Structure 1
């Protein structure tokens, strides 16, 4: 076996370092989530495969945020209880860490992460501009957040990862249903058809207003962690907008990226590069 190429090894180390510094808050002493044989999902699961790709999870994560905030109650929770104007990266980091811990970490760590989120949701509530009360622990609201995340992660994987079969897509929804149930969501889709039915049923409740556009602006125009990652971030955010269903883009007043083939090609190249770096 030939000795490792120092240039190649150095490039791999730099790419891994960029990802780890982006998704782990060193000021809080965070370190990468360790994969465990005692996780909620087994190593051979579809969930391990889909949730383990850096680029597709970033594309899907941004797309899911844009979908979620179209629900007035989700938007209100962000508006009333989130420091999105000053800490959008922190919000993205917390979401990414929750997904990582509930997918890969030892079972006790995953269960503690779920309990922490449930505790936070119990304290979050308020009133919509029209006077309607809302609560973050509303089972239907939790179901909307869950289904938009799973739909977005899976759609991003199918476009920029290694596509899986329709049967495996159904398995992904069935596997991840256990997290939604543990958080208190209801109804919880267990197949792609059920997920699409739930999204369609929620559409009459969705809207976009000035507050939606302001939060979306902060999501899509946040400052990159460093100039080195600025081009990749721009491609990933454009890919997230491109991933949205047409009706969601129209509600947001967003247009499909004008150079869609270039955006998709660049994002696919980024995905392949990170998969090479992480082996």
Structure 2
């Protein structure tokens, strides 16, 4: 049995632990591309995107918002159980105080409605899984189902009943089939699109944005399902071209040694390895070799991943 499974007896593995698919997958740098894809996707739900745009000025706190989201995911993945529960309670507390208004009907609604929380969760998990598999990481169908099932623990922390959250890729695909009629392009979604393509930066960083961010944002948009491209009314390169570019960028990002990447704040992975030992070092390529990760757990085995759709 791999040493990844021999390190945390009598220590707190956190919400998931090294035995999980989540632990191995979330360390890969392509998750940044997946996070941008999730934002494109989430913006297509009119009520959800209004909850964001009416309660925050994301244009003035571009990178702060992105880093807070990344830190939240990192805490849930690699932090202690107490830290994860505390982070979830903080998010739930913020959401409880926020409302938004439907400009067409004048209805005021809470941003923590289960329907909206579920959309945000599923768009995020679908994006992480889709990008990981599309760029060539060794995520089998069984791994994919296990991952979707594991993420019900994260859904609970943002206020959802895990029983109401898709538990495998079949159910995740079914969810997207059902929710499609609620999705639409709105002025707010167009604002998010424009923001993601050209986020405001200081003048000295404009060349870097053009060289790096525009490429990442474009690839993230290209990985969306065709129906999302149709809603945005913006074409994307052919799927084979998107996959080739995504795979190439993934290799470039992985060329930066993990020890260098992980030293950047907030250092969740390094702190987890200090807590659990060097054998807990995550890598998505462990999924290829470590059958013990597929021991019975929260995610059922088997499932489908529809071409061009959720979790493909």
Give the TM-score taking structure 2 as reference length.
Answer: 0.72
Tell me what 1:69 maps to: 43
Where do 5+ consecutive residues of structure 1 fail to align?
Answer: 1-35
Counterparts of 1:228 and 1:218, CA distance in 2: 16
**Cα distance 1:58–1:43, how it changes in 2: closer, same or farther (>3 A)?**
same
Shift, 1:134, TM fit: 2.3
Counterpart selection for 1:153 from 125, 128, 140: 128
Tell me what 2:231 maps to: 251
Counterpart selection for 1:189 from 144, 166, 169: 166
Shift, 1:224, TM fit: 5.9
Aligned length, in residue pairs: 243
Tell me what 1:239 maps to: 219
- The answer to whether the 8 A contact 1:170-1:190 is kept is yes
Where do 5+ consecutive residues of structure 2 fail to align?
Answer: 1-10, 262-282, 284-312
Counterparts of 2:199 and 2:248, CA distance in 1: 20
Shift, 1:181, TM fit: 2.0
**Cα distance 1:224–1:159, how it changes in 2: closer, same or farther (>3 A)?**
farther
**Cα distance 1:205–1:212, how it changes in 2: closer, same or farther (>3 A)?**
same
Deviations 1:32-81 (A, max 9, x none): xxxx8531111131001111112x21111111111111111111111110
Give the TM-score taking structure 1 as reference length.
Answer: 0.80
Deviations 1:172-227 (A, max 9, x none): 01111111023222520110111111111111011112221112111221146845
More helix by share: 1
**Cα distance 1:139–1:111, how it changes in 2: closer, same or farther (>3 A)?**
same
Tell me what 2:246 maps to: 264
SS in 2 for 1:86: coil
- The answer to whether the 8 A contact 1:160-1:271 is kept is no
Superposition pairs of residues 48-59 of structure 1, within 5 angstroms: 48-54=23-29, 56-59=30-33
Counterparts of 1:221 and 1:257, CA distance in 2: 19
Counterpart selection for 2:67 from 93, 102, 119: 93
Residue 125 (1) aligns with residue 99 (2):
yes
SS in 2 for 1:233: helix
- The answer to whether the 8 A contact 1:68-1:74 is kept is yes
- The answer to whether the 8 A contact 2:134-2:243 is kept is no
Counterparts of 2:176 and 2:149, CA distance in 1: 16
Counterpart selection for 2:20 from 35, 40, 45: 45
- The answer to whether the 8 A contact 1:69-1:212 is kept is yes
- The answer to whether the 8 A contact 2:152-2:167 is kept is yes
Tell me what 2:76 maps to: 102
